[in-house]
Amino acid sequence: MLTQIEHAKLMMLRAAWEKDRGREYVAAASFAKLFAGELSHRVVNEALQIHGGYGFMDEYPISRMYRDQKINEIGEGTNEVQRLILARLMGL
């Protein structure tokens, strides 16, 4: 999970690097948002599985992470919107 999280961070940093240099960054940002949104879902679900039934109890941080993940996924532009942006950039 940590390897994938680091990959998402690098994708975000690449998009920021492109923007800082005045280059086209929309595709890199959309790739990063899409990957991170889907990754957050996978990682939180896997972490919940590791915790088992305790993962649903409010005493454990994973309970809140599980609920918050969906808001983060939607708040930064839905995965569907990111796919539409990428398809448009590819000329589809």
Contact 7, 59 (CB under 8 A): no
Predicted confidence (pLDDT) per residue in 49-87, tens digit: 998 887 778 888 888 888 888 777 676 668 888 888 899
Q: Are 44 and 1 in contact (CB under 8 A)?
A: no
Compute the mean pLDDT over every residue in the chain, rounded to the nearest whole number. Answer: 89
Burial of 30 (0-12, 13-18, 19+ CB in 10 A): buried
Q: Structural domains in the chain?
A: 2-89 (1.20.140.10)
Is 6 a known active-site residue? no
Residue 69 has a pLDDT of 84
Q: Catalytic one among 6, 59, 76, 80?
A: 76
What per-residue confidence (pLDDT) applies to 12? 96
Q: State which amino acid sits at residue 50.
A: I
How far is the C-alpha of 38 from the C-alpha of 65, rounded, in Å? 14
Name the residue with higher pLDDT: 74 or 18. 18
